Structure 1
Amino acid sequence: WLGLEHGVPSHDTFGRVFAQIDPVQFEAGFYRWVRESLPDRPAAGVIAIDGKTARRSGDPQREQSPLHLVTAYAVEQRLVIGQNAVGSKANEITVIPALLERLVLKGQVITIDAMGCQRSFAEQIVAGGGDYVLAVKGNQGALLEGVVDTFALAPQDTEVDIVEHQTIDKGHGRLETRTCAVIADPAVIAWLNPAQQWPGLQSIIRITATRASASAPLAVPTTSTRYYISSLPPDAVRLNQVIRSHWAIENEVHWVLDMIYREDSSRVRRGYAQQNLAVIRKLTLNLLKSTPNPKKRSLRILRKRAGWSMDILFDMLGLT
């Protein structure tokens, strides 16, 4: 521990220090710690990649955009394993290759939303020994049209098999029915991927989710349909699980950063401070998630207990 013979540094001193720390080196230290502390990943584990903006970190008077970070999350271990900063959400695709380069892709399934549906990303993931599940939307118009038409016409073609799996879940006052439909017919895949632009493409997927109010049965249900491409074989059960697990990065990382760490309320704007603080937030989030928690205390309570008791803090830091 530091002696701090001149007392605890002030709020402004912390701000100046974090504003000057090289974020590349700081993040490199985070990556090293993650690699050393991350337990062995299961075969075919899921890594979800998604972006989030620290909404109040921008400064309109200085024409400074809010900080946007693209994060990688190991779903089974519930640990953040990487992040890269980018100027805005529109530029996410410029930093995803560097983030993928830092990750151990072999044996892992990488899930990315529609912004990440890029041929180069699919190639990079497959070359690294991983698999991909990529959302398909309007930014890949021709591909989306082909996938939608395939699912629309497939029931009329007796030679095209559709593998389906359905789940029904009740929670948070809602009843949700999810149907995962998968087509992996070689002729269909060859038609969609004539020049092998999408390396390793094996399956196209349609997820249809119908949500109804559990407490108001007369309410009109809502239905949404999403489409995906994947290098995984046509296992509808597995693909349904993988696609659903992508939402863990929203619920277990982004929501926690907003509601518990109040990241969106942070107005730190000087230098690299916000980017470096984001690393610290995720480092502490990993520590909290890795702490044995037999009483199932919330992350908010675990944070408070670490602040109240040095013994608990030392235990979380592995210093006991």
Structure 2
Amino acid sequence: MPSCLQQLGAPSGPIAPETVADLRTYLVEVPDPRALRGVRHSWTALLTAAAAAVLSGAASITAIGEWVADAPQRVLALLGFRPDPLTGLIRPPHSTTIRLVLAAADGDALDRAVGRFLQERQDPVSGRRAIAVDGKTLRGSRTKDRPATTLIAAMTHSGQVLAQRQVDRKSNEIPAFAPLLDGIDLTGTVITADALHTQHDHASYLHERGAHYLAVVKRNHPGLHDKVRRLPWHDIRLDHYERARAHHRDEIRRLKTTAFAHLDYPHARQALQVVRWRRDLATSKLTIERIYLVTSLPPGAATGSELAAWIRGHWRIENQLHHVRDLTFREDASKIRTRHLPRVMAGLRNLAIGVHRQDGHTNIAAALRRTSRDHQRPLTALGLT
């Protein structure tokens, strides 16, 4: 991996336990829809217990219930469960109770709480922060009468999900872009997204919020694509060059940038060309790909290495979030379909992935196994001790 990418994405090391924010102070903002009559367990305690269980690798409601049932009394007390006034013992909630609670939880409110917790928990970021926006369909959530749940997320290039929002089933990701980012401080950030979000309204919105963008230009904008493609790239100097060998292939990436004042895209200041040369080591097949982008960053605001790192770093949302949720948490194979459960479980998985990455873990599966060996470890990570 190029050194510029390692610098942008490397964790700063485990966060000191005494400085970790308390997750419960954020979960209290998630509204409790239950009637007061017959309530035995605290709403916040149930959500916190589910979060701790997922942080330990629980991939289903049954696994969450088993983790809570096995928790010692001191752990249940730290989670916020109340003891029986007669016996003084804490009876853990049944997995059915946990299922009903998570199915009734407001997914938007939970994701806002998780995003604020992760932002408060992380160390200050040096330099300009890059945020990737991308969507994912929860394939296992599809039913006979309802399409699969689609979520759009905003994730830092270092691996923390700052916001997540469900896409209306009768729409697509485009209308959800601005509402997703409304709760994030975007001042000075760089937003990366795929070509679907190369929209004039998105560019204007980001400019108003004080953010910059790197927008991929494809044939869905034929006029803009043709104008950028026809620039005299042969005469423009090279800004960045890198060569790497990974995934059984050699790869060369070349980046050129040029200032261009007459682009038909709001606040665009530069056009970029990325040329990727890939040679498969097994078949010797060579492929060449050219990608064009526009950015609102003025000339000199970022080096060629930084621009290349942000362009390549966008796909970390696939590798560090979607891929991890699919393989490690088996999200697409999950049969959780009841009410808000698919959305809520996705939010809890985002929380677990973000916490482990902030604590310096690059292998999330190994981090989950380590956390599962001690009921105290997820509580420490969530600031409950």
Give the TM-score of the pair, scaled to structure 2: 0.72
Aligned to 2:124: 40
**1:2 aligned residue (68, 81, 103):** 81
Contact residue 71 and residue 84 of structure 1 kept, 8 A: yes
Partners of 1:106 and 1:241 lie apart in 2 by 20
Shift of 1:175: 0.7
Deviation at 1:90, TM superposition (A): 6.2
Shift of 1:305: 2.0
User: What's the Cα RMSD here?
Assistant: 2.2
Residue 265 of structure 1: aligned partner: 333
3-state DSSP of counterpart to 1:48: strand
SS at match of 1:226: strand
Alpha-carbon distance in 2 for matches of 1:311, 1:8: 16
Distance apart, 1:34 and its partner CA: 2.7
Partner AA of 1:308 in structure 2: R
1:245 and 2:313 matched: yes
Counterpart of 2:224 in structure 1 is 143
Aligned to 1:304: 369
**Kept after mapping to 2: 8 A contact 1:174/1:211:** yes
CA deviations on 1:107-141 (whole Å, 9 max, x unpaired) are: 11110110110111111111111110011122222
2:355 and 2:204 map into 1 onto residues whose CA distance is: 33
- The structure whose RCO (Cα within 8 Å, separation 6+) is larger is 2
Pairing of 1:1-320 with structure 2 (within 5 A) = 1-3=80-82, 7-59=91-143, 61-62=144-145, 64-76=146-158, 78-87=159-168, 91-150=172-231, 153-155=232-234, 161-184=236-259, 186=260, 189-190=261-262, 192-193=263-264, 197-199=265-267, 201-214=268-281, 216=282, 219-234=284-299, 235-293=303-361, 298-320=363-385
Partners of 2:83 and 2:328 in 1: CA distance: 29
Superposition TM-score, scaled by structure 1 size: 0.86
Number of aligned pairs? 298
Which segments of 5 or more consecutive residues in structure 2 lack a partner in the other structure? 1-79, 85-89
Identity of aligned residues (%): 27
Partner Cα distance (1:89, 1:263) in 2? 23
Structure-1 residue corresponding to 2:34? none
Question: Any conservation in 2 of the 1:50–1:71 contact (CA below 8 Å)?
Answer: yes
Preserved contact between residue 51 and residue 89 of structure 1 (Cα < 8 Å)? no
Return the letter of the residue paired with 1:213: D
**Deviation of residue 313 (structure 1)?**
2.7
Give the secondary structure class of the aligned counterpart of 1:96: helix
Deviates more, 1:110-119 or 1:222-231: 222-231
